[in-house]
Structure 1
Amino acid sequence: MAPFLLATLFFKFHLLVLLVHGYGQANTCRSFCGNLTIDYPFTLQSGCGHQGFRDLLFCINDVLMLHISSGSYRVLDIDYAYQSLVLHDPHMSTCDSIVLGGRGNGFVVEPWRAPYINPTPDNVFMLLGCSARSPLFTGFPGKHLPCRNVSGLGCEEYYGCPAWNVIDPRSDGPVYGSGPPDCCAMQFESIKSVNLSKLDCQGYSSAYSLAPLRVSGPDEWAYGIQVKYSVQGSENFCRACEATGGSCGYDTDGNSDLCLCGSWNSSSNCDSVQSRASYKGKWPIEVALAGLSMSAIFWGNHIRLG
């Protein structure tokens, strides 16, 4: 019976060695929502990802939602190569539908989050039904309107959409004495946030360039809000962490970068033994290995002596 026990013990020992060898090698922070992969810098788990994107994404019935101060948006796509997301606002006007009444969310991020996420420079916001008192038009008497095309996208083309068939759009601006236009195209950087209440507008549409792909008209535009994200200098830390089998995360107390290495966390990478700052309430895996090794020696001596 003793040889059988020894064989069983050694089998368990080697199995644990294999587990330890692979422990932390899988990305424990990567997850999925519907058909979208959630990976660094995003996360659905506390402590994973980058601290600038915490409490940002939520998976509801396999639908990925992004929540910021202006509201919730459905995430249609995440492009990790180009560091961008495409968002959908159900109250946003498109080529087929004009939505007025100030119900659209627009786009406003919290000031602390602004360095991490903002619409791309080639995303055009076309503000609809803005009053003459709107900040878009005040302060520009006798001067050109701030409205303009962005990356070849603008209101003149947008007026050609079927949605305008029931409306006779007014495109002349205050310079011509006929009141503000029904559509004013702006780049996000020009106004810093798309807040329909503050801008005194009734609605908005958003489209982004598909360059180098050329489209024939506004009915083929990509409607949605394309957002660029940045991890603000943490790329090297994350690459070093993942190269040693860890998952990129952050300290929920101090908000500093952490490399998650299975049962312990590191402030650098998973090859840095000295940085094992936290064991998450579990015994270090090496202690378990040492215990099994001692048991193996004990049983080996016991069998020889017997």
Structure 2
Amino acid sequence: MGFLYTHRHIPKNKSLHSSSSSSLFILIIQLIFPFLTLTSAQSSQCRTSCGNIPINYPFGIDDGCGSPYYRHILVCTSGQLQLRTPSGKYPVRSVSYSDPHILVSDPFMWNCLDGDNFRPTRPFSLDTSTHFSLSPQNDYLFFNCSKNQVIIEPKPIFCERFPERCDSSCDSASYLCRHLPECASALGGGSCCSYYPKATESLRLMLKYCSSYTSVHWRNVGNTAPYDQVPEYGIRVDFDIPVTTSCLRCQDTAKGGGKCGFDSQTQDFLCLCDEGNTTTYCKDPNISWHRSKRGVVAGTVTAVSVAGAIGIGAGVWYLRKLRAKAPVTHGVQSNENRVF
């Protein structure tokens, strides 16, 4: 730790006392802070759910839990899980770890209750630096588009199975436009077409010439094809589960069954255990535990050793002694009463 010093002229009769006081105080500070112990969130401090949604690796809603790749991306507020993206925060409806994806809803998107009332909306976007991606199981419906700016035409049936063989027109005869989920006739005479944007920019461009849009994903219900999927409103976001040797070893029940986490300051891997944390695994015989208080965020300064406490006490005593000898200045700081 460093302090900012301002050079001022100090009278000769005060220089020895002032400089020696400053040097001794700085020495005490330097002796105190090396004794501060960095502790991290233990496994019991990592919440495993938000509302009724389970929170497992690689995610974490407490800093230091899960993978640093997904740090600060999921937020739990009053039992409501939200996904944070560059375009805003979105309510999370479910999280699947077996088929890794998150299902979110966007309150700004068109819904059945809107009917022909097309509200202004905003384009959904993801941070491309994260391990998230928009699922190809999403379909996007655009409403009330300008035919002068958007190519709107029916596509052949085979385009639904082989979209890469079709052009980028907005399909006005798509199955979803003809069978809107939950409200087949909600649009009345309103226009609808289906288009899959390749990037956020193409989505923004479509919304520039269309009144609104909505996302429909295909949910697997476990039936036999072709009735194994049903359309539902929402945005499916796929994610990767980083697999490392350190994490697998940490999670191994034979080695203690810890939880994978990280130091919130360095983002280095940590195995979170009930007794504390380690860079190896919970039952590693070569570690000594540093216990921390419950609810402490990983990587923050949370505990002080006995020697550190003694050092702090000595520093406080020395400051009081200095102040007792200092001249009374009624709150005015001068060269005579400066501590450092």
Q: What TM-score does the superposition give when structure 2 sets the normalisation length?
A: 0.56
Look up the SS of the partner of 2:69 in the other structure. Answer: helix
Give the one of 77, 81, 86 matched to 1:64: 81
Give the one of 196, 205, 219 matched to 2:214: 205
How far is 1:112 from its partner?
A: 1.5
How many Å separate the matches in 1 of 2:175 and 2:101?
19
Give the one of 224, 227, 236 matched to 2:237: 227
Amino acid at match of 1:202: S
Q: Hey, what does 2:142 align to over in structure 1?
A: 127
Q: Hey, what does 2:186 align to over in structure 1?
A: 163
Q: Is 1:77 matched with 2:94?
A: yes
Amino acid at match of 2:48: S
How far is 1:87 from its partner?
A: 0.7
| Long gaps (5+) in structure 2 | 1-41, 153-165, 293-301, 306-340
Q: Hey, what does 2:133 align to over in structure 1?
A: 118
Counting aligned pairs with the same residue, the percent is: 24
User: Greater CA radius of gyration, 1 or 2?
Assistant: 2
Deviations 1:199-221 (A, max 9, x none): 414321111112344798x9x63
Amino acid at match of 2:111: T
Aligned pair count? 232
Amino acid at match of 1:163: A
Q: Is 1:191 matched with 2:199?
A: yes
How many Å separate the matches in 2 of 1:154 and 1:128?
12
Q: What TM-score does the superposition give when structure 1 sets the normalisation length?
A: 0.62
How many Å separate the matches in 2 of 1:224 and 1:215?
21
Q: Hey, what does 2:66 align to over in structure 1?
A: 49
Summarize the Cα distance change of 1:147–1:132 in structure 2 as closer, same or farther, 3 Å threshold: closer
How many Å separate the matches in 1 of 2:135 and 2:190?
31
How far is 1:269 from its partner?
A: 2.2
Greater relative contact order (Cα < 8 A, sep 6+): 2
